[in-house]
């Protein structure tokens, strides 16, 4: 048993999502969104090196010493996996570990809207799951891949850095490729993906315009492509991708997105009203003729109105999702206001009109990553 496993035990007992280690500070766990000390004593420089290098290979140790940064996944027996990032800061060596549960939660357990399951059942096109760091993107994507794995005889290829959720093949054949271990870069892995006969491709993060363009091309070839982007809304996601390209290439990119985009799920994690966990709020945009036209014409500012009017098809803005959570008592109004797009209008909804309660939603599992 590695020395750091004792800290992982404390983190898991408290249902924490992240472990922060820094010299001169006690180990900190992110518990229900807040950083909490897991012990009173502070981590010394000697202890830091023992904790971190006991679980790395010699090659990984050389990487952090030479490049001052390291990402990898650590398997803690059958209890959990952790996505690790080692780095240097003012006080010396430091690390953050993100919990990746060994059990992949289903979309039902995550209490995602029904339309998210329907998106996972599409056969081709681009699906983006977006949100800030720690908003549960990886957990939602894992639930979607698990649904495919349970229901469809196909080849699922994941390209990640590092591999997070590990899916045991059920009805589908699942291939996990890790950047740095199985491919030199995302671009190299995506470029070769088309030759690996996949039906579904999960790209851990669309970081560059090169990887974005290749993902769009694969989606146009009849492959179902999942990807993540660090944006807070569906319109912002489209603009982020388009603006990653030079001006002269943007019309072509808009055209490719208009043809291939079938859905964007933008999510935020919020503290529940009972203080016992966190719940995801989902903004959902579904591809359509109208959406394609707005993307081509650069009128993404109109997508909010389209999502509001598309409630019957399963679309919703973030403010609509937050309103539901407040009305059923899942989250407090002030918590929702922190994430609301139009804060004045959102507050007005609850101050000008009597709140109409809705039946409580099923209890949601807390996404970890």
Q: In CATH, what number is assigned to the domain containing residue 62? A: 3.30.450.90
- Rounded mean pLDDT of 173-195? 89
Confidence tier at 363 by pLDDT (50, 70, 90): low
Query: Alpha-carbon distance 79 to 283, whole Å?
Result: 32
User: Which residue has better confidence, 169 or 277?
Assistant: 169
Domain for residue 231, yes or no? yes
pLDDT surpassing 90 at residue 107: yes
57 and 199 in a single domain? The answer is: no
Residue 146 has pLDDT above 60, yes or no: yes
Residue 366 falls inside a structural domain: no
73 domain residue, yes or no: yes
Residue 56 lies in domain: 5-101
For residue 357, tell me if it sits in a domain: no
Taking each helix axis as running N to C, give the angle between helix 250-260 and helix 209-220, from 0 to 180 degrees, rounded to the nearest 10: 40
Same domain, 175 and 252: yes
Residues 267 and 221 in one domain: yes
Quick one: 154 and 282 in the same domain? yes
Express each pLDDT in 197-225 by its tens digit.
999 999 988 889 999 999 999 999 899 99
Q: What is the CATH number of the domain that holds 161?
A: 3.40.50.300
Same domain, 88 and 118: no
Task: For the chain, give the percent of residues with pLDDT over 90.
Answer: 76
Is residue 156 located within the same domain as residue 265? Answer: yes
Listing DSSP states for 131-198 in one string gives: -STTSSHHHHHHHHHHHHHHH--SEEEEEESS--SPPPPSSSEEEEEEBTTTBSSHHHHHHHHGGG--
The two structure tokens encoding residue 52: 């971190």
- What is the mean predicted confidence (pLDDT) over 104-122? 94
Name the phi and psi angles at 164, rounded to 5: -105, -90
Q: Return the pLDDT at 355.
A: 47
User: Does one domain contain both 40 and 186?
Assistant: no
pLDDT bucket at 130, cuts 50 / 70 / 90: very high
Phi (first) and psi of residue 40, to 5 degrees = -85, -40
More confident residue, 42 or 362: 42
Mean pLDDT of all residues in 81-110: 92
Query: Residues 244, 319: one domain?
Result: yes
Picking from 367, 368, 361, 366, the residue whose alpha carbon sits closest to that of residue 114 is 361
Evaluate whether 161 touches 180 at the Cβ level (below 8 Å).
yes
What is the number of domains present in the chain? Answer: 2
What is the predicted pLDDT for the residue at 364? 52
Q: Choose among 168, 123, 122, 124: nearest CA to 142.
A: 168
Predicted confidence at residue 359, as pLDDT, reads 57
Residue 364 in any domain: the answer is no
Is 204 contained in some domain?
Answer: yes
End-to-end Cα spacing for the chain? 25
Token couple for 251: 């019309």
Cβ–Cβ under 8 Å, residues 279 and 32: no
pTM: 0.82
345 has a pLDDT exceeding 70: yes
Whether 169 and 303 share a structural domain: yes
Question: How far is residue 32 from each of residues 197, 263, 273, 366, 367, measured CA to CA in Å?
Answer: 41, 29, 12, 9, 11
| pLDDT range class, residue 353, cuts 50, 70, 90 | low
Q: Distance between alpha carbon 42 and the CA centroid of its chain, in Å?
A: 31
Do 144 and 215 fall within a single domain? yes
Q: Say whether both 29 and 52 belong to one domain.
A: yes
pLDDT digits (tens, 9 = 90+) for 334-344: 999 999 999 99
**Structure token pair of residue 264:** 């964007």
pLDDT for residue 236 is more than 50? yes
For residue 36, list its beta bridge partners.
Answer: 29
Are 303 and 340 members of one domain? Answer: yes
């Amino acid at each position: 048993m590695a020395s750091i496993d004792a800290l992982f035990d404390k983190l898991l007992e408290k249902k924490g999502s992240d472990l922060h280690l820094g010299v001169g500070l006690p180990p900190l766990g992110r518990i229900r969104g807040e950083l909490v000390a897991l012990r009173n004593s502070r981590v010394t420089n000697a202890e830091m090196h023992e904790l971190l290098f006991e679980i790395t290979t010699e090659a990984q140790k050389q990487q952090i010493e030479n490049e001052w940064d390291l990402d990898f996944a650590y398997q803690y027996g059958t209890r959990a996996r952790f996505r690790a990032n080692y780095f240097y800061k003012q006080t010396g060596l430091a690390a953050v570990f993100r919990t990746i549960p060994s059990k992949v939660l289903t979309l039902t357990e995550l209490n995602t809207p029904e339309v998210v399951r329907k998106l996972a059942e599409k056969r081709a096109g681009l699906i983006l799951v977006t949100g800030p760091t720690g908003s549960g993107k990886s957990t939602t994507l894992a639930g979607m891949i698990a649904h495919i794995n349970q229901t469809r005889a196909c080849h699922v290829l994941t390209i990640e850095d590092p591999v997070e959720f590990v899916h045991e093949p059920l009805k589908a054949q699942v291939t996990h490729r890790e950047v740095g271990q199985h491919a030199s870069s995302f671009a190299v892995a995506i470029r070769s993906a088309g030759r690996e006969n996949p039906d579904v491709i999960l790209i851990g993060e669309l970081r560059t315009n090169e990887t974005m363009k290749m993902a769009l091309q694969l989606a146009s070839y009849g492959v179902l492509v999942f990807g993540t982007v660090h944006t807070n809304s569906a319109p912002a996601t489209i603009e982020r991708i388009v603006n990653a390209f030079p001006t002269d290439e943007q019309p072509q990119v808009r055209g490719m997105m208009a043809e291939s985009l079938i859905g964007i799920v933008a999510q935020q994690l919020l503290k529940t009203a009972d203080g016992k966990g966190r719940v995801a709020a989902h903004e959902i945009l579904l591809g359509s003729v109208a959406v394609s036209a707005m993307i081509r014409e650069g009128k993404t500012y109109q997508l909010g109105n389209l999502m509001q009017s598309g409630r019957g098809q399963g679309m919703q803005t973030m403010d609509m999702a937050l309103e539901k959570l407040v009305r059923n008592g899942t989250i407090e109004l002030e918590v929702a206001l922190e994430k609301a797009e139009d804060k004045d209008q959102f507050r007005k909804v609850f101050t000008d009109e009597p709140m109409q309660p809705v039946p409580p939603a099923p209890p949601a599992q807390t996404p970890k990553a």
